[in-house]
Amino acid sequence: MFRRSAMVGAAVIALALGITGCTGSANTPSEESDTLTVGMATPPVSLDPSKAAAGFGLLYVDPAYASLINTSEDGELIPGLAEEWGYVGDDNKTFTLTLRPDLKFADGTDLTAQSVVDSVAYFVTGSGPTNSFFRNLTLTAVDDVTVEVVSSEPNPMLPFLFSNTILGGDIISAAGLADPEGLASATFGAGPYVYDPEQSVAEDHYVYTPNENFWDQDAIHFDKIEIKVIPQIQSQVQALKSGQIDMMAGDPSVVSTVEDEESIAIAAAPIVWNGVYLLDREGVVAPALADVRVRQALNYAVDREAVARAAYGEAGTPIDQAAVQGFDGYDPDLEGTYPYDPEKARELLEEAGYGDGFTMAVNYQSFDPGSTKMIQAVAAQWAEIGVTLELKGNTNFGEWVGDLVSKNFPATVLNGTGGQPQYLDAEFAWLPTSIMNVFQVSDPGIPEAFNTLATASADDSGAAARAFQKVIVDNALAVPIVQFDAYAFHDTDLKGVVFAPGIAAVSSIVTWTK
């Protein structure tokens, strides 16, 4: 057994739908400011880690749930609840974790290896964005502090899966597992804080107070963390300028309103792509999407440069693939696969039997300005080839998730996907069991490409990841449109809000200090 501080078989890059960071600090609570206040556009989907949204949604979960492995500001994997971990053998199938001794949950009960086994078993039954990553894993408690993990297939991402970017590594107590409904509105973790419902008002503000049983009391930096729900991004900016909040998730549309403010710092990293997921690729709701020529036509019918400029200004870069430059799976040779060519699009539609066009419903996150501008511009361009979009704007993330899983929408817009290992992106979006593959489509070439990716050596993993991405692009499983920076705006007195090198997420809220 040994501790690893790097990925096995892949670069150290984090899930764009997660927030990374580590617990632990030389500072003590007495040296810290009393309250950390954060602005969020939407309330949590759930406080249950098995159902919670990743990305900035992790701000609601991170305070109360400690993870097995953490991530440093330098992008290295470091100890969390587990102090050691590593693969057994060289086939990337067997993995062990060794917990710290004498760990306790916030309720005072012991956190053991069996707690980890039970928590992950519950996690895979949920509906969150990363649950599918754990479904082919078998966990066993070897003793009170040792967990053995066996994957049915080679998996080079196991250290990363149990880090604080993926949620499954957030261990839930026995009391929480016995009350699944209660997990939605209360916390049952072993993190540095606990959710305080008496000081909170659901869908308005969420308050967290210190956990007296947390294993590292020096890592508790605040007497209170408060997350305020402020739906409009301009209102969040005003709250940040006036000192009502200390931090918010930024957006390219409002960078110009804060960049000259001396009291506000901007953290940014190019880690996000946005576009349209073509979900119904077997034509259950929208028969036209079952034909690859139709999906390719939709790609040819988008002027990516114009849409990127309209939606994100100078911050947007047009892309042809579902990957981010500089991250695993991105292939520069795929750029230009679908140049803007409306005539080519019309020819493909005619060949597929849809020369008169068709209509389909698309839902999107209307609380995100970039997504709203993007899909409206795309709708106008697709109308030129006879494709009519019936757009539905979701006012919060929970509503978007509800529409996604309803299977009433053959396509959707997801803002926030980005740089992550292609192996995990495949499990998130492109396999029949993926959370984003709500119609459970088995696309040609995907199983073979995934098997090659899963079994690739460290030397071959990059080529295998690019080959998998080529299958996505050639079969037009989505319409990637634009890459842009993710932003976090914060008061200059707040420290630790960073995007670590090679990490597709902002650092964890529990690591920030004043």
Every domain of the chain and the residues it spans: 29-246+493-511, 270-485
Phi, psi of 38 (to 5 degrees): -125, 140
Could you please state the CATH topology (level 3) that the domain comprising 270-485 is classified under: Dipeptide-binding Protein; domain 3 (3.10.105)
Res 17: pLDDT? 34
CA distance 304 to 301: 9
Q: Using CB atoms within 10 A of its CB, is residue 440 exposed (0-12), middle (13-18) or buried (19+)?
A: exposed
Mean pLDDT by 10 residues, the chain (514 residues): 29 30 35 82 93 82 96 88 95 95 98 98 88 91 98 88 90 97 97 98 97 97 97 95 96 90 92 93 98 98 96 90 87 96 98 98 93 97 98 91 95 78 87 92 96 86 95 98 91 92 78 95
Pairing of strands 411-413, 358-365: parallel
Res 503: pLDDT? 64
Res 26: pLDDT? 33
Joined together, the tokens standing for residue 404 give: 């996604």
Inter-residue contact 509 to 62 (CB < 8 Å): yes
Inter-residue contact 508 to 290 (CB < 8 Å): no
**At a CB cut-off of 8 Å and minimum separation 6, what does 407 contact?**
284, 285, 438, 439
> Is the entire prediction scored with pTM above 0.85?
no
CATH of domain 29-246+493-511: 3.40.190.10
Res 215: pLDDT? 97
How big is the CA angle at 393 (ends 388 and 395), to the nearest 5 degrees? Answer: 175
CB atoms near residue 357 (< 10 Å): 15
Res 476: pLDDT? 98
Computed on alpha carbons and rounded to an integer, the radius of gyration of the chain in Å comes to 22
Proportion of the chain in helix, strand, coil states, percent, rounded to 5:
30, 25, 45
**Which parts of 337-413 fold into alpha helices (H)?**
342-351, 369-383, 397-406
Res 345: pLDDT? 98
Please measure the distance between the N-terminal and C-terminal CA atoms of the chain and give it in whole angstroms. Answer: 37
CA distance 394 to 87: 43
